[in-house]
A and B are shown apart, each in its own frame.
Chain A
Amino acid sequence: MILLAAEGSTVTNEVITTTSGVIGIAWLIPIVPLLGFVAVLLLTRSLMDRAAYVAIGASAVAFLLSVGVALQVLGDPATYVRPLPTWIDVGGFTVTYDLYIDQLTAVMLLVVTGVALLVHIYSVGYMEGDPRYERFFAYLNLFLASMLILVLGANLLTLFLGWELVGLSSYLLIGFWFEKPEFASAAKKAFITNRVGDVSFMIAMFLAFATFGTLGFTEMFAQTDTLATTTAFALILLLFGGAAAKSAQIPLYVWLPDAMAGPTPVSALIHAATMVTAGVYLAVRMSPVLIVSVPGMVIIAWIGALTALLAALIAMRQNDIKKVLAYSTVSQLGYMFMAIGVGAFRESIFHLVTHAFFKGLLFLVAGSVIHAMANRTDIWRMGGLRTAMPVTFWTALIGWLAISGVPPFAGFFSKDQILTEAYLHGYGPIWIIGLIVAVLTAFYMSRWFFLIFLGAPRFGDEVLPHESPRSMTVPLIVLAVLSAVGGLLLNPIHDGPFYRTLGPAVGDITDIGYEPFGSLTEPVLIPLAILAAVVGIGVAYLFYVRRDVSMGELAEPIRGPVAELEEHAFYVDAAYESIFVRFGGAVARAFAWFDANVVDGVVRGAGAVAVVIGRSSRGIQTGLVRSYVAAFLAGALAIVAVVLVQVR
């Protein structure tokens, strides 16, 4: 078995602490974009449009440094720790800014800085003429720095620092056009939903510290042998709670579709390629802990699978060019967590990488289309853009095929390997759900693609679609190439170079002893996955290309209550509205009433009591000298009485 051979070759990494070489200057990777952020923010006035070049320069430096780090790490199966000054040192609790660089870090660095560089370049064209052009680039650099802190941190708290900072920059960028109230509230929704997960993450950190006495990865992983299964179970679920918010899993996925309010490059970078995968990164980073509790992983797998299914169903009936992609992102993230849950950590990261390529590409395509369509986003009012936007069309074609899982494009390899792994690890129902989701994915992405680029134009005369400028098409082409050949180059077979490189960095699942679900082998499973893609695309072709869709949305072929349900995203938002917003609001109002009437009442009551006492007792103050003398006498007599009682 190829698979078993691959898993057997897993070796534990040697930890090397070094301050020399390229690892020694790795701390520059997050610092340079941070400086870019500060510089652009401080010099907005003098830089003007040149701010973009500062930001691009900063991200390019980060990318080049990441390449250097990656070359060092990928050729040498070791984990490097770059010591940096201490952040917190309280009693036995020590947190440093150390960098933790292994193969997983290197992959994440390349993905993050690479996509970020492309999105920076793309934004030059996309954001041209925006009144807050400079600030946009400042925020992009802030996000990049935050994400790199997240990826490079050598302990959970540093990771959490980046985690919170990406949340902040995400909030700033979703609400970038905050003049529109719904955009501003979308930003708030994202921020608040993420806070829910942050609480879970923080409790996870408390538990981790209580259990391990440290938050450092190396120290924690060294103790996994003695970790109790129940503790690991709790830790996994708490960490997953944090990851579910950041990576938009059930039940905290609701913010991501709304996050499409941000500029499209932001959606591509943050809400498709990088930030939302932070949860996946966290889970894989903690995989040595995950493997201690298989039930915890099963829960992750099921939530991932259900998220993938739910989001795919919703995506089938979305009409907004970005909403489809947003739910698709949720669905694909579900795939990644499904992979983590079934013990396919490397497959998960592989899918993360390919997803960054093709979903980043698709979002940038969407941005290009929106740019050309004068900010229209309804896919029913597009169509026939193939001729007007050839570059966008061809790159979108590659992205579409990649996400649909058509070989030899990138998505096929990663998705197929997740499904295969789910089957071979004995999770039959999850495998079946994965296959269904693959069909659905192919279907809704084909619908998206066909409605935008094929058929007759449905946008009328007032819009004149045109190809986007060079700064936008070049990133499209680069990402299209990566989407096309990325999978093939990285990991064409199950024991490819990517997995071999990544092997030492993830948890070792050989001891779990997975049994295959059935007797099917890889040569059978792969055609099944291809078949799923073909079915999805074929059905979509019949519905949206062969049929007449010139009537627009009325031509939607799938009708009925289920479709209605899907169109309204299963009323999850409405349910949350009534459960959390209304009920929570009622509770808050009750507390506000309590505060205003009881708590403040006590305070005011104290004042009122003082006033009453004062009113009733002020009669004593007659202003008559002799009454005071009489009181004096009474007091003196009282003292004498006390003395008599006490002494005699």
Chain B
Amino acid sequence: MELLAQAAEGAGGANLAEVVLFWVFSVLAVGAAIAVITLRNIVHGALMLVLNLLAIAGLYLTLESSFLGIVQVLVYAGAIMVLFLFVIMLLGVDNDDLLKETRVATRFAAALGGALLVAALLFAFVGTYTSPSSLCGQGTGVVAGAGEVLCVGLAEAYGPDDRSGVAFLGLRLFTRFVWPFQLAALLLTVATIGAVILARRRDLEPEDLDVGVADPDALPPSDAELLRADADAPGEAGTDVPGEEPARLGASPLAGSDPTERGERPTGHDRPSDADRGEG
């Protein structure tokens, strides 16, 4: 905690604290990340991701961004990952057997791609700014050379009364970035509604299908639906072709247009889906 406090002190604080914290959190973050992509148990993977996120929150602290660190813990580690775990539990899939089936070629390709990517990123972006002048907290006296960058630090921007920068961020969010802020709120609302609609299990609630149709019997089934009915239930179609439509509608007062929607569709995870039909 002492180290954390010192790190939060910012550019003027002990550099040793930042170095130590950086290495600790970095190793934690990278290790946890590797665990995320390698562990077969998804729950373990998710927990490792939580660890990774917490480590990053620690890195935010070393970067004089304590507000971000708190938000990271609250939102990511607290809310989002709980959602992940909740979904994993809901679907009851904690073991990822698919990982075993991954082909060697795929693994090789993934490794090669990863190596190339990290090399490219390091060469292209990291090297550019890695110079003594970008070293924060080393005090004055370092002058940026040609093509080098001088690290400024955030103390000046925050001001003397706002060491953590929360006031500064609040001011920014409600002045300059007020419109993005509002849009973010809107986005969250839309996302919530969308998630509700997407995750709804229609097959368990047939009455929901009637929404918007006052008298569903008045709507004749489309040709596609009739064809589908024939394909799905050949015996039925063969027996009462002449009176098919009234019989079918009469037998289903709840008036889903397709008998397979209710009666014949197997419930559970292995039933034929709409998407399968689309592919046919």
User: Which residues of A does B touch, CB under 8 Å?
Assistant: 630, 633, 636-637, 640-641, 643-644
Contact = CB atoms under 8 A, between A and B. Distances in A.
B124 A637 contact: no
**Nearest 5 Cβ contacts at the A-B interface:** A640-B120, A640-B124, A633-B113, A637-B116, A637-B120
A641 B124 CA distance: 9
A644 B116 contact: no
Contacts of A644: 120, 123-124
Contacts of B121: 640
A636 B120 CA distance: 9
Contacts of A630: 109, 113
B120 A641 contact: yes
Contacts of A633: 113, 116-117
Nearest to A644: B124
Contacts of B109: 630
A644 B116 CA distance: 13
Contacts of A636: 117, 120
A527 B169 CA distance: 126
A643 B128 CA distance: 12
Interface in B106-138: 109, 113, 116-117, 120-121, 123-124
A637 B117 contact: yes
A643 B124 CA distance: 8
A550 B113 CA distance: 111
Nearest to B123: A644
A58 to B, nearest CB: 65
Contacts of A643: 124
Nearest to B127: A648
Given A630-B113, A640-B123, A644-B120, 5 more contacts: A630-B109, A633-B116, A636-B120, A640-B121, A643-B124
A484 B175 CA distance: 111
B148 to A, nearest CB: 15
Interface of B: 109, 113, 116-117, 120-121, 123-124
A633 B123 CA distance: 16
A637 B113 CA distance: 9
A630 B114 CA distance: 10
Contacts of B116: 633, 637
A641 B116 CA distance: 11
A504 to B, nearest CB: 87
6 contacts: A630-B109, A630-B113, A633-B113, A636-B120, A640-B120, A641-B120
A640 B121 CA distance: 8
B173 to A, nearest CB: 32
Nearest to A641: B120
Contacts of A640: 120-121, 123-124
A365 B117 CA distance: 104
A628 to B, nearest CB: 13
B115 to A, nearest CB: 11
A644 B126 CA distance: 12
Nearest to B109: A630
A643 B123 CA distance: 11
B237 to A, nearest CB: 32
A637 B114 CA distance: 11
B196 to A, nearest CB: 24
A643 to B, nearest CB: 6
B69 to A, nearest CB: 29
Nearest to A633: B113
Nearest to A643: B124
A46 to B, nearest CB: 54
Nearest to A647: B124
A180 to B, nearest CB: 55
A631 to B, nearest CB: 11
A636 B113 CA distance: 11
A633 B120 CA distance: 11
A637 B117 CA distance: 7
A640 B125 CA distance: 10
In this complex, the member of B109, B113, B121 whose beta carbon has the largest number of chain A beta carbons within 10 angstroms is B113
Contacts of B120: 636-637, 640-641, 644
Contacts of B113: 630, 633
A643 B116 CA distance: 15
B120 to A, nearest CB: 4
B262 to A, nearest CB: 31
A633 B117 CA distance: 8
Contacts of A637: 116-117, 120
Contacts of A641: 120
A644 B123 CA distance: 8
B258 to A, nearest CB: 27
A378 to B, nearest CB: 71
A144 B238 CA distance: 79
- Interface core residue of A630, A633, A643, A644 (most chain B CB under 10 Å): A633
B105 to A, nearest CB: 12
A60 to B, nearest CB: 72
A636 B116 CA distance: 11
A633 to B, nearest CB: 5
A604 to B, nearest CB: 32
A644 B125 CA distance: 10
A633 B109 CA distance: 11
Nearest to B106: A626
A641 B120 CA distance: 8
A630 B105 CA distance: 13
A644 B113 CA distance: 18
B219 to A, nearest CB: 34
Nearest to A626: B106
A292 B144 CA distance: 92
A636 B123 CA distance: 14
Contacts of B123: 640, 644
Contacts of B124: 640, 643-644
A107 to B, nearest CB: 80
A236 B183 CA distance: 82
A630 B109 CA distance: 9
Q: Pick from A640, A641, A643 the residue with the most CB of B within 10 Å.
A: A640
A641 B121 CA distance: 10
Nearest to B124: A640
A640 B123 CA distance: 9
A180 B121 CA distance: 87
A640 B120 CA distance: 7
A633 B124 CA distance: 15
A190 B109 CA distance: 80
A512 to B, nearest CB: 90
A627 to B, nearest CB: 10
Nearest to A623: B279
A640 B109 CA distance: 19
Nearest to B120: A640
A502 to B, nearest CB: 85
A420 to B, nearest CB: 93
Nearest to B113: A633
A643 B117 CA distance: 14
Nearest to A640: B120
A647 to B, nearest CB: 8
A339 to B, nearest CB: 83
A55 B183 CA distance: 81
A429 to B, nearest CB: 89
A180 B120 CA distance: 86
A630 B117 CA distance: 11
Nearest to B121: A640
A630 B108 CA distance: 13
Nearest to B128: A647
A204 B40 CA distance: 92
B179 to A, nearest CB: 31
B95 to A, nearest CB: 20
A633 B110 CA distance: 10
Contacts of B117: 633, 636-637
A609 B113 CA distance: 34
A637 B116 CA distance: 8
A643 B121 CA distance: 11
A621 to B, nearest CB: 14
A584 B260 CA distance: 70
B111 to A, nearest CB: 12
